[in-house]
């Protein structure tokens, strides 16, 4: 039984570490793929799209949907973990929506 519990705890820890979004990778993916389009839309360095008074994103789920729409529009082959990274970066940097643990 102790061996099983140790295995279970190890598996849970590994899954939690693997699932944690990578803020720096999210920033890199964003800067390489998103910012040029956003700069064309709002001018400047493009980040004004996130801080404008009439921004459309009002929740973490809305942010995730928008990142997916942009990804699909540009044909970026991001797997779910990279989408998570970009969403996490945008949320931590601009939106500040509560994230579930």
Q: How much is the pLDDT for 7?
A: 46
Which band of pLDDT confidence, cut at 50, 70 and 90, is reported for residue 19?
low
Residue 82 lies in a domain: yes
Band of residue 16 on the pLDDT scale cut at 50, 70, 90 = very low
In the structure, what pLDDT confidence band is assigned to residue 8 with cuts at 50, 70 and 90? Answer: very low
Which phi and psi angles does 100 have, rounded to 5°?
Answer: -75, 145
Q: Is the pLDDT of residue 12 over 80?
A: no
Structural domain boundaries, residue 26:
22-95
Determine, yes or no, domain membership for 11.
Answer: no
> Between 60-74 and 80-90, two packed helices, what is the crossing angle to 10 degrees?
120
| Distance (Å, whole) CA 24 – CA 3 | 36
Mind listing the pLDDT tens digit for each residue in 70-96?
999 999 999 999 999 999 999 999 999
Q: State how many domains the chain has.
A: 1
φ, ψ dihedrals at 71, nearest 5°? -55, -45
In a domain, 9, yes or no: no
Arithmetic mean of pLDDT over the chain? 87
């Amino acid at each position: 039984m102790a061996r099983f519990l140790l295995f279970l705890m190890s598996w849970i820890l590994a899954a939690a570490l693997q699932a944690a979004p990578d803020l720096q990778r999210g920033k890199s993916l964003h800067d390489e793929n998103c910012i040029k389009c956003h700069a064309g839309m709002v001018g400047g360095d493009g980040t004004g799209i996130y801080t404008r008074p009439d921004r459309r994103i009002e929740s973490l789920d809305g942010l995730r949907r928008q990142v997916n729409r942009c990804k699909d529009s540009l044909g970026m082959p991001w797997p779910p973990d990279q989408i998570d990274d970009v969403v996490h970066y945008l949320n931590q940097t601009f939106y500040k929506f509560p994230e579930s643990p």
